[in-house]
Structure 1
Amino acid sequence: MDGVPRADIWGLLVTVSKVIWCDRGWQPHHYGFCPDEKAWHRELKRLGVDPSPYPTSHGGCTHLTNLKQAADCTIVTISANKRPAVQVVGLIVHEAMHVWRAVRESIGEKHPSSEFEAYSLRSITQNLIYAYEKTRGPLCRK
């Protein structure tokens, strides 16, 4: 399977239980989306990070230090509770802002221009939506 959710023979969505790391482009800060608790524990182990409980809030942004690569990263979680797509997108935008602030801190940017900030936030948001859809299926009908 290439990581894209597919319908099984009964038409049910088959999802992916792994952290999807986003294309960070020029940004030196790694970030990704974690769809569930199983993927959370597996990824923390892979990164060499001390085990910690899976975030249970509606949305979460956990900043970690990857001990194996001595690099900081952020893992975004969104609870699997059923909610309208617009609320999921709102949560993703909210968490994307936290990721953006971690990126800003990692590059020492204290006062980014409004355009730089807007383009960066848009890119992070789009990447997180893509990762969400890759693990949980489409948010909206095409």
Structure 2
Amino acid sequence: MSETKRKQRKKNADKVRWLDQGWQPVFIGFCPSQKAWDREMKRLGITPPEPYPTTAGRMTTFDYKGSKTVCLVTIQDGCEKEHSLSEIIGLIVHEAMHVWQRILLDIGEHDGASMELEAYAMQQIVMMLMNAFEETRGLPKA
């Protein structure tokens, strides 16, 4: 990896990467580091700040200004050094499913969405989270 790309990733690791909302009524962010988490807690006005998740992966929700839901996905700092690509993809898919479940809750789809809508939504959420992970942390070798 080039030095320029390495520096860009380090810079990106300090900020939450917000995903394209599309039609979804929630804000979805990938939080690549504890520093980014701490910044976002301050920016969102979460007091007391929610502690940085210590599990391998987590989707945490917050209310933003009392009307919008924020879903922050975290994958533990340094996991790309300890876990294979397939394990990281599995974590991201797992957390993306929690995002999707929250979207369904927010739009009042208590009986679930059609299978095709769910498949497309999951594909989109997973791809955006994978891109955010890669842009901020890189990917381990397969």
User: Is this a same-fold pair by TM over 0.5?
Assistant: yes
Q: Which 5+ residue runs of structure 1 have no aligned equivalent?
A: 1-5
1:43 to 2, 22, 40: 40
Could you tell me the TM-score, scaled by structure 2's length? Answer: 0.86
Corresponding position of 1:3: none
Identity %: 44
Q: Return the structure number with greater helix share.
A: 2
Could you tell me the TM-score, scaled by structure 1's length? Answer: 0.86
**Amino acid in structure 2 at the alignment position of 1:41:** D
Give 1:66 deviation, angstroms: 1.5
Give 1:140 deviation, angstroms: 5.8
- The alignment covers a number of residue pairs equal to 133
Q: What whole-Å deviation, never above 9, does each CA across 1:94-133 have from its counterpart, x for those lacking one?
A: 0000000011111111221111111111111111111111
Q: Distance in 2 between matches of 1:126 and 1:139?
A: 16
Q: Which 5+ residue runs of structure 2 have no aligned equivalent?
A: none
Note the 1:51-90 alignment, pairs <5 A. 51-67=49-65, 70-79=67-76, 80-81=78-79, 82=81, 83-90=83-90
Corresponding position of 1:121: 122
Tell me the C-alpha RMSD between the 2 structures: 1.9
Q: What whole-Å deviation, never above 9, does each CA across 1:46-91 have from its counterpart, x for those lacking one?
A: 1111212100100011001113x73111000001222111111100
Corresponding position of 2:16: 19
- Please say if 1:7 is aligned against 2:2: yes
